[in-house]
Amino acid sequence: MSAFLYTMHVGICVRDLDRSIRFYRDGLGFADAGRLQVEGEPTATMLGLASDMLLDAVYLERDGLRIELLAYPRTGTVGLADPRPMNQPGFTHFAVRVSSIEEATSRIEAFGGRVLPSTRVHNPEFEAHLVYATDPDGTRIELVETPNDPTR
């Protein structure tokens, strides 16, 4: 693999930055990895937002995955906080392995997330229990409880 590309982070737009920090850091165990505040140009042009925009970004990291929580105190957040359809092009979810689906779902609900019970399945081929949950803003998180990792 050529060294022309290095992964950095996955951005997640949030409505309430403090609530999302609590969810990901305190609820899911991500660690603080930095903060950034930018306003106006040239960031506004890059993001396709009004030139008076203000962005607060918080970086959190766990197990090599860095997420960037993006909050817009000036220009605000638009759209619904519903999970995206899985067959809609673009980012659909990220997955985490858990030691206990029950413990993970309880924790997600305690920190403001939502479990999608209709997605709960057992896959005997991989000895896996799976369910989708969402963060407080509707970003899907796949919870996988399995002794094996079928992707390796």
- On average, the pLDDT of the chain sits at 92
Considering 74, 101, 117, which residue would you say is the last residue of a domain? 74
Rounded-to-integer distance, Cα 73 and Cα 15, Å: 9
CATH of the domain at 39: 3.10.180.10
- pLDDT band at residue 75, thresholds of 50, 70 and 90? confident
Q: Which amino acid makes up residue 43?
A: T
pLDDT tens profile 6-36: 889 999 999 999 999 999 999 999 999 999 9
Could you tell me which residues are beta bridge partners of residue 143? 96, 131
112 lies in some domain:
yes
Question: What band does 150 get if pLDDT is binned at 50, 70 and 90?
Answer: low
Say which residues have a Cβ less than 8 Å from residue 101's Cβ, sequence separation at least 6. 120, 129, 130, 131, 143, 145
Domains of the chain: total: 2
Gap between the Cα atoms of 31 and 24, Å rounded: 8
* Closest of 67, 63, 78 to residue 23, by C-alpha: 67
Burial of 150 (0-12, 13-18, 19+ CB in 10 A): exposed
- Structure confidence at residue 87 as a pLDDT band (50, 70, 90): confident
Task: With respect to residue 100, please indicate whether it lies within any of the assigned structural domains.
Answer: yes
Q: Name the residue range of residue 97's domain.
A: 93-145
15 shares a domain with 70: yes
What confidence score (pLDDT) does residue 126 get? 83
With 0.95 as the threshold, say if the pTM is over it. Answer: no
